Structure 1
Amino acid sequence: MFIRCAFFSGRIKPGREAEFTSYVREKLVPLWTRFPGAEEVRVLRQEESDSDAQRYEMVLAIRYPSREAIEQALASPVRFESREVTKGLTEMFDGSIFHTVFKADDFALPTD
């Protein structure tokens, strides 16, 4: 499996935290969950870190079964729509956004 992540490196502008959260949930999650081939969508919000050097206000992680599925999602109309809607989110955010694709393996936890 593969997981494509969008890292929002930086901070939400002061006083816009609730607006940022609502915008993600109400406008972007409905789009991200429609990406073709997506098997899971997670929105991660940083609660704490052992380093002050880097802050990730949010990480979007979408799981796909293959690289081909990622390519289909990136070429889809809903992805282009989400890019337009994300522009509104960036008005509430000071920082940068970058994407990374991870190859992921699952490991079962011991049952005893």
Structure 2
Amino acid sequence: MIIRQALFEGAIHAGQEETFKRYVAEKLMPMWLAFPGVKEVRVLYALERDEGAPSYPMVLSTMYESREALAAALESPVRYESREMTRGLLAIFDGHIHHHVFELNAD
């Protein structure tokens, strides 16, 4: 299995945490679940971190059967629609998003 994670590094605007979570749940999650070939979508919200560690208030984790399935999802129209919809989320977030791809060892 292939896992792609989007790490939201930075900070949600003060007092906007619930608005941020609601936007993800109502606007973005339905799109992420519609990515072709996606097996699992998880949204993780930070509770605590080590002193001095960077702030990742949210991590999006998606699972695919293969690198080919991931590539197809990343080229799909719904992915581009979700990127456009994410702009609304970034209005209440200071930071940047970076992506990492992992292989899940199923042993």
The bucket for the TM-score relative to the shorter chain is: over 0.9
1:10-49 alpha-carbon deviations (Å, 9 max, x no partner): 1100111111010000000000000001000000111111
Which deviates further from its counterpart, 47-56 or 11-20? Answer: 47-56
- CA distance in structure 2 between the partners assigned to 1:6 and 1:77 by the alignment: 18
- CA distance in structure 1 between the partners assigned to 2:21 and 2:63 by the alignment: 21
For residue 83 of structure 2, what is the amino acid of its counterpart? R
- Count of aligned residue pairs for this structure pair: 107
Q: 1:54 aligns to what SS in structure 2?
A: coil
Alignment-derived partner of residue 24 in structure 1 = 24
> Does 2:50 match 1:41?
no
Q: 1:39 aligns to what SS in structure 2?
A: strand
- CA distance in structure 1 between the partners assigned to 2:62 and 2:45 by the alignment: 15
Question: After the TM superposition, which residues 62-101 of structure 1 pair with which residues of structure 2 at under 5 Å, given as runs?
Answer: 62-101=62-101
Structure 2 unaligned residues grouped into runs of 5+? none
**If the length of structure 2 is used for normalisation, what is the TM-score?**
0.96
1:36-63 alpha-carbon deviations (Å, 9 max, x no partner): 0100000011111123330101000000
Alignment-derived partner of residue 51 in structure 2 = 51
Q: 1:105 aligns to what SS in structure 2?
A: coil
Superposed CA RMSD: 0.9
Q: 1:55 aligns to what SS in structure 2?
A: coil
- CA distance in structure 2 between the partners assigned to 1:50 and 1:18 by the alignment: 23
- CA distance in structure 1 between the partners assigned to 2:33 and 2:51 by the alignment: 31
